[in-house]
Amino acid sequence: MMPSAQETGARAAEWLEQRERGPWGEDEQAALDAWLAQSFAHRTAYWRVSEAWNEAERLRVLERSAIDKDRVTAVPRPLLIGIAAAVAVIAVSGLAASYFFLRPAERTYTTDVGGRELITFADGTQIELNTDTVLRTRMTTGQRIVWLDKGEAFFRVKHDAAHPFNVIAGAHRITDLGTEFLVRRDPGRLEVALVEGSAQFGAGEGQRQSVPLLLAPGDDVVATAQSMSVTKKASHDLANKMGWRRGVLVFKHTALSAAATEFNRYNREQIVVSDAATANLTISGTFPANDLRPFTEVVQSVFRLRVGRSGGEIVLSRQ
């Protein structure tokens, strides 16, 4: 005898709400997956409640289009009158209604220098933005497109064969086939590292189409205007590339100049390496991305460098 539909429905709502509230990590997802795997009753109940909750997203459209700006106290009464009015207005014209519903929900997300942000979408897809990043999304029932205009982001995409997930970064496009990957866009250079699953790497909007490259886990693509390379990275190398998700930078025999460049992405205070000999010293270790002190103390004591501060700069030079 299966549990009553009301019990199952209530349990499904509990799961959905727990996910809505967060934090939602791998353990939580695994627990939910296990529950879902138990029966179709669980799965359909969860799909049903999630779909309704997503559907309620349309309330937001109403709010933007029809409810007055100065709803400072946000009590339900005037809002509901606003919604009722909007419903009345929209119901007058089918055209208007389709306009509101079909208008793509496009949003822009940005992080400041040193910032980091995790965005979770209704379909379960997560995007984690690294420092100094600009990302635009268009998530509708028909398509999922993200533009990485600047910076770096880690994607954990909920695969949906009917709605492929596309990341467009300058001249390139990454199309997921169910996957986790990292995209980093620097001036004149794009890097894509595939952690899990598979993805296609191809030409972006308005570019001459070429045969897309099929990426496998560990593949690290670096594309510039002139060249493109694919190398296979060990999983710990990939994990190091994603240290920022834990708030750290991981260096392995990294030239001091390259390390400085990395730190400078995360901090307003900029590290300057004064001469070539200093720039070529290599360093290994894990450092907090947003705090320069541990790094400067290490280079000072290990390499016996001089650390000078002036006008927002930290200058590393020989003694």
CB of 196 to other proteins, least distance (A): 16
Task: Read off φ and ψ for residue 272, nearest 5 degrees.
Answer: -120, 130
- The smaller minimum CB distance to other proteins, of residues 65 and 317, is found at 65
> 243: which residues sit within 8 A by CB, 6+ positions away?
249, 250, 286, 289
- The reply on whether position 13 binds other proteins by CB under 8 A is yes
Contact 65, 100 (CB under 8 A): yes
Give me the least distance between CB of 21 and other proteins, in Å please. 6
For residues 83 and 59, give the distance between their C-alpha atoms in angstroms, rounded to a whole number: 8
- Burial of residue 255 (number of CB atoms within 10 Å: 0-12, 13-18, 19+): middle
- Interacting positions 257-286 with other proteins (CB under 8 A): none
Residue 161 contacts other proteins per CB under 8 A: yes
Other C-beta atoms lying within 10 Å of the C-beta of residue 313: 11
Selected from 136, 138, 150, 159, the binder of other proteins by CB under 8 A is: 159
Q: What is the Cα gyration radius of the chain? A: 24
Write the interaction track for other proteins spanning residues 54-93; mark x where CB under 8 A is met and - where it is not. -xxxxxx-xx---x------xxx--xx--xx--x--xx--
* CB of 14 vs other proteins, minimal distance in Å: 6
Q: Are 182 and 240 in contact (CB under 8 A)?
A: no
Burial class (CB in 10 A: 0-12, 13-18, 19+), 73: exposed
Contact 63, 21 (CB under 8 A): no
What minimum distance in Å lies between the beta carbon of 60 and other proteins? 6
CB of 51 to other proteins, least distance (A): 5
Contact 258, 241 (CB under 8 A): no
Q: Which CB sits closer to other proteins, 21 or 268?
A: 21
Q: At what angle do helices 58-66 and 94-102 cross, to 10 degrees?
A: 110
Site for other proteins in 117-156 (CB under 8 A): none
Whose Cβ is closer to other proteins: residue 196's or residue 269's? 196
The closest alpha carbon to 282, from 304, 262, 264, 257, belongs to 257
Piece of 44-52, 196-204, 250-258, 263-271 that binds other proteins (CB under 8 A): 44-52
Which strand (E) or helix (H) includes residue 151? strand 144-156
Q: How many residues contact other proteins, by CB under 8 A?
A: 54
240 contributes a contact to other proteins by CB under 8 A:
no
By beta-carbon proximity to other proteins, the closer residue of 162 and 234 is 162
Our finding on whether 206 is near other proteins (CB under 8 A) is no
Please, which residue, 157 or 314, has the CB nearer to other proteins? Answer: 157
Does 208 contact other proteins by CB under 8 A?
no
Query: Which parts of this chain interact with other proteins (CB under 8 A)?
Result: 2, 4-6, 8-10, 13-14, 16-18, 20-21, 39-41, 43-45, 47-49, 51-53, 55-60, 62-63, 67, 74-76, 79-80, 83-84, 87, 90-91, 94, 97-98, 101, 158-162
